[in-house]
Chain A
């Protein structure tokens, strides 16, 4: 009897445990599979018609405000009020086209891009993926009706800012300090770009395509709006740090400060050779082993969050393909949903200090690790590019003595390497200069550009 009871009890316990385990698994699955939330600004109340243009304006101005970046005239005005540096270009959200709808039910609105107080391009604000993702693209000049639409934006912009220009009497500008002109709200009926939109990423580092979370505008915060990179947020709904915030936080960590100082001291000591530090997942940073005159060995990347090492100054003082491949392996072993946490940094003579992050999700990682042969090929390519840039494009990319590359040349090589490695737009590059941090982007003319982080 006792034996029977024990067996029954054990069986019952096993059944309960099994059901409980099923329940928790179901709960996890249902949590992971929650559909991405829509945006509040694009949700109609009762019989209200959705004003998509106005919604994009609200989103982007709020995004600038919470992330302390500048993409809109409003953000530039606020920065000037606070005596902060301003960006060279911004979107005038008060002037826009009518709202468009594509055959696949995507919505988009066009806005003028202002540079040097003139309309310099067209920004396409897009709502897509069943109205759960927003993206801002720069229209390609090859797009249908581009010239006509640019002309219409220019005419309205000039006409609406003319009184201010006349009043200011200063170089035809609205203001001498770069304050954006007040254009008033204008909606222009545009011909559209042939039923769809054609554009490339605009400021992808500071304004990635993404769901409602980075805009703090989720209709259903529990529903899981996706992050800036478009990945679903697995276990937390915190808005992801933008690269500027990430680097700021990293540079304030004592262990990172110590590592950077140590590498600087190593460079200044004249000892020569390379030195590196592993920023471990658990425990304090540890030095790399088997360092050589021109190499460091990071060992097992699965136990690291980041790595730092010095370049000696003799070669290309920029991340090599082997540095990038080490970052990729570090990222591979970060928790799902936290791919952007992995990082690699270098310091080199002449106060060179760069840091890079992966800005995609785990699904964006190369499936296979890079092999020795791939990396050798990219070394060869970097060596070729270095000589080509310093000899034949000397004025833009070379140091004055013509021996090595200036920062633009180094950054150019980095972006070319990313492209060859299939990682174009998947890695964010930042330059650290004292307390200032700059996000490096490749402009449409192929020349790298620094965008200062504003804190």
Chain B
């Protein structure tokens, strides 16, 4: 009998510990920089500011049909320098077709969040601007910022600002694909489908 009571007490103590650990996960507003936060922090879209960008959007540039599939992932896990954090994030997947309708690149069904992956950095609801970053292709080539400015409920403009990457035989020893298919242009208008 005494043994049973002891077991119940231990189980109760463990449950409390688990609950208290869960309760310790800190939540932060959507524009919080994740890099210096404690592990397992949660950057939450408290006011659903990301929602207006959700949808399928398309544009034509340089003869290519670009379709963006923007979804909101709730509490998606990210890893930075071996530290996990969670974030309500817009995930931008895309398909780019040439003028003949042939697919040049598509990340629509990709689960890779290290290559050709796009998600949000900061959002400014006053100016209706959304910052995104693009991881680039192999060895990060093409990584950079994308700025989306919401013009109205059915249109936004897209500007992509790729950065420089230096590779050498140590940091990127293998053969790589350097082709960037995203439209490198400012103020390209996308229409909601």
Q: List residues of A whose CB falls within 8 A of some B CB.
A: 274, 276, 290, 292-301, 307, 309, 311-312, 314-316, 320, 322-323, 325-326, 329, 346, 369-377, 379-388, 391-392, 403-404, 420
Contact = CB atoms under 8 A, between A and B. Distances in A.
Contacts of B140: 322, 372, 375-376, 379
A380 B170 CA distance: 20
A295 B122 contact: no
B69 interface: no
Given A329-B168, A369-B170, A380 B163 contact: no
Nearest to A324: B166
A323 B136 contact: no
Interface stretch (B48-56, B99-107, B141-149): B141-149
Q: Which 9 A-B pairs have the closest CB atoms?
A: A315-B163, A383-B133, A387-B131, A387-B121, A292-B178, A322-B166, A295-B165, A379-B143, A298-B168
A383 B144 contact: yes
Nearest to B178: A292
Given A314-B184, A369-B171, A376 B135 contact: yes
A312 B80 contact: no
B145 A315 contact: yes
A380 B31 CA distance: 15
B166 A320 contact: yes
Nearest to A301: B168
A295 B167 CA distance: 7
A309 B166 contact: yes
B28 interface: no
Interface residues of B, number: 40
B129 interface: yes
B168 to A, nearest CB: 5
B35 interface: yes
Nearest to A298: B168
Contact of A323 (B80, B142, B166): B166
Contacts of A392: 31, 122
Contacts of A404: 161
Interface in B143-179: 143-145, 147, 159, 161-172, 178
Contact of B131 (A315, A380, A391): A391
B162 to A, nearest CB: 5
B33 interface: yes
Contact of A382 (B142, B163, B169, B170): B163
Given A312-B164, A388-B121, A381 B170 contact: no
B163 A388 contact: no
B141 A294 contact: yes
B139 interface: yes
14 contacts: A276-B166, A294-B162, A296-B164, A296-B166, A300-B169, A314-B161, A314-B162, A314-B163, A315-B162, A315-B163, A320-B165, A322-B165, A371-B171, A381-B35
B169 A384 contact: no
A436 to B, nearest CB: 24
Given A384-B35, A388-B122, A372 B164 contact: no
A27 B172 CA distance: 42
**Which one of B122, B147, B164 has the greatest number of beta carbons of chain A within 10 Å?**
B164
B114 interface: yes
B1 to A, nearest CB: 56
B180 A297 contact: no
B3 interface: no
B121 A372 contact: no
Contacts of A316: 163-164
